[in-house]
Structure 1
């Protein structure tokens, strides 16, 4: 059953699809609701940033810009990435994952599965901590330094698989190494006997907005395998970054 308060709030916000700004009496008239109820909803939305008040008028708030930009960016990343991911899968014959940061977690938003019978299963929608696994960790490695340190100060490193990094100083050293060489490698950090190599994807502002990884069983990720995968992976990430407007050298 739909929550009535949420439905009424949506009805109020829907008014601004046709009207750039509205007074409280105008909202009350259109919604046919008690004035006190409309006022409380409007004030709550102002506090949350979904509405802003200028004099007697209410209009949409800046919070919608943030959410709208995120939705557009995430859709653009998936659209730009999928053809490149399919090509990369054919080149490596391993699963290819696309991950973005969602708060203090990594969120898997796209995947191209390998045709190999022995594989690592990762579904779209999976969440993982930023410190564990090559693809989540590449987001952490290329995060703004102040944000990264703030995250490291407050996060609790929990052992998820046999090689999950649980020492913060060791993790800091690993992140610096990852950033210097431009890619991350993991073995049994999120799942035992799994391995992955990941690189960042950059947007038009030069910010790392996603991670692209090739993943599979550990036995197929020897140092020679990694050396073969990395150039292809970096090229794929650069192709996607170019589609997002990135003009740097990587």
Structure 2
């Protein structure tokens, strides 16, 4: 690595901790101020650093752009696979990963149950927004101003006697999901199947996917499925951490095209 590049990287790391004066940076690098100033001027021209009226230097906007692009380029399906595999092995139940694309919840990965019947779902197939846990999670994370129009556009097909059938009921369900941080499909999509779903966040706090676990009630009763929520949530949080999210961040809306 060239000496100039090494010094520039050291400056960026230092400014990532706090703003610094020219003197402080020169002391850290052990070089003359003129040497540091030339590096800073070059980096400022490319928006990697900037300075205020007191001539204290700080990170520039170009780094924020690069950081966001890095987060966006991380493939949630690839990063999620090891965690979903572990959840599937631990629970032996059907595990789904879904994202919100062009107004639909799309299954992008699935792990079939190892000791029970297979679910109807399939990778690449849309999940009904009104009666699946992943659909409810993903829509509830959309901006609230979008909820009414999404609710009005849904075809409320009654898959079972428990399926939500009106926009008004669906909007109430979204409020509940947003408040509690997870969603249920209580025999709404498939008879005798209960499902819980939780959000996956990226480094900006946006909800980019949903993880769910589905279980026939012949294996676990509804309350027993709910008891697995901490395990499913821990899996989603582990995936979120891979995407750069930390639990202290404020959650914002889903990414994806409305």
Larger radius of gyration: 2
Cα drift, residue 105 of structure 1: 1.2
* Equivalent residue, structure 1, for 2:153: 154
* Equivalent residue, structure 2, for 1:124: 123
Contact 2:74 2:243 in 1 (8 A): no
| Counterpart secondary structure, 1:139 | helix
Cα drift, residue 221 of structure 1: 4.1
Listed as ranges, the gaps of 5+ residues in structure 1 are 1-68
| Equivalences for residues 103-118 of structure 1 within 5 A | 103-118=102-117
Aligned residues: 181
* Equivalent residue, structure 2, for 1:206: 205
CA gap 1:74/1:123 in 2 versus in 1, 3 angstroms: farther
| Equivalences for residues 60-209 of structure 1 within 5 A | 73=72, 76-209=75-208
User: What's the TM-score once normalised by structure 2's chain length?
Assistant: 0.64
Q: Aligned partners of 1:74 and 1:132: how far apart in 2? A: 31
Q: Aligned partners of 1:94 and 1:130: how far apart in 2? A: 22
Listed as ranges, the gaps of 5+ residues in structure 2 are 1-67, 250-258
Q: Aligned partners of 1:131 and 1:74: how far apart in 2? A: 30
Q: Aligned partners of 1:123 and 1:153: how far apart in 2? A: 26
Cα drift, residue 165 of structure 1: 0.3
Q: Aligned partners of 1:114 and 1:74: how far apart in 2? A: 30
Cα drift, residue 85 of structure 1: 0.3
| Counterpart secondary structure, 2:75 | helix
Q: Deviations over 1:53-102 (max 9, x none)?
A: xxxxxxxxxxxxxxxx99x9587111111100011112222111000111
Q: Aligned partners of 2:194 and 2:73: how far apart in 1? A: 25
* Equivalent residue, structure 2, for 1:226: 225
Cα drift, residue 222 of structure 1: 2.1
Higher deviation after alignment, 168-177 or 82-91:
168-177
Q: Aligned partners of 2:221 and 2:206: how far apart in 1? A: 30
Cα drift, residue 117 of structure 1: 3.5
* Equivalent residue, structure 1, for 2:34: none
CA-atom RMSD, angstroms?
Answer: 2.3
User: What's the TM-score once normalised by structure 1's chain length?
Assistant: 0.66
Contact 1:131 1:140 in 2 (8 A): no
